[in-house]
A and B are shown apart, each in its own frame.
Chain A
């Protein structure tokens, strides 16, 4: 079972470059999320998509954009990368709001911005 798949797993960018992180889930989940993980700060929500066709800002949306391409796919774009965006990014999915709320995570994408 693939579950949640993220690409790429590693990426090095220069300041000002752009890139897109891709995420796909095969569990027919309604909701998808992008988190970033930084030392000592746990996971912080960047954007989420409660259902296909909707997206909303989380705690730390500045500098990012998202696209819910279809029910399976949810991408995160950095238009002009900054060193402060050096982090590990996790995509996650869940069935939706009115359920137990368990999140299923991808393996993460480690991004370094020089």
Chain B
């Protein structure tokens, strides 16, 4: 079946550090891939997405590239801010499907 595996947290970084959160997936066909972010006390919101191989999603300085050969969709940001402290979820949705499968989430703490 379809599944998403992401690195365990928490991840603690100092402001302006480089961020990588690893995400790998198992799926048949060509799913769409997503990163969602959840700020404290809020629901999830879409951060970025990619719908086909080699696509790069980007938003708010975050980037992720859809790598079909390694079945990965790692999240990166060159310089994190305190305001980036949140929980990040990697997710996939099969093409033409209704269900989105989420990873367990990675909590990020950024220290000033």
Instruction: Tell me the A residues contacting B by CB distance below 8 Å.
Output: 4, 31, 33, 35, 40-45, 48, 50, 56, 58, 90, 92, 94, 96-98, 100-103, 105-108
Contacts and interface: CB of A to CB of B under 8 A. Distances in A.
B89 A97 contact: no
B45 A105 contact: yes
A-B interface, 4 closest residue pairs, ranked by CB to CB distance from nearest: A105-B43, A101-B93, A42-B104, A42-B102
A98 B86 CA distance: 30
Contacts of A41: 104
A50 B98 contact: yes
Contacts of B43: 4, 90, 105-108
Contact of A101 (B45, B100, B102): B100
Interface residues of B, number: 22
Given A107-B41, A107-B43, A108-B43, 7 more contacts: A40-B104, A96-B98, A100-B51, A102-B49, A103-B100, A105-B43, A106-B43
B99 interface: yes
B49 A100 contact: yes
B29 interface: no
Interface in B60-112: 89, 93, 96-100, 102-105
Nearest to A88: B43
Contacts of B51: 100
B104 A97 contact: no
30 contacts: A31-B98, A35-B102, A40-B104, A41-B104, A42-B89, A42-B105, A43-B44, A43-B89, A43-B102, A45-B99, A45-B100, A48-B98, A48-B99, A50-B98, A58-B99, A90-B44, A96-B98, A97-B98, A100-B49, A101-B49, A101-B93, A101-B97, A101-B100, A102-B34, A102-B46, A102-B49, A103-B46, A105-B44, A106-B43, A107-B43
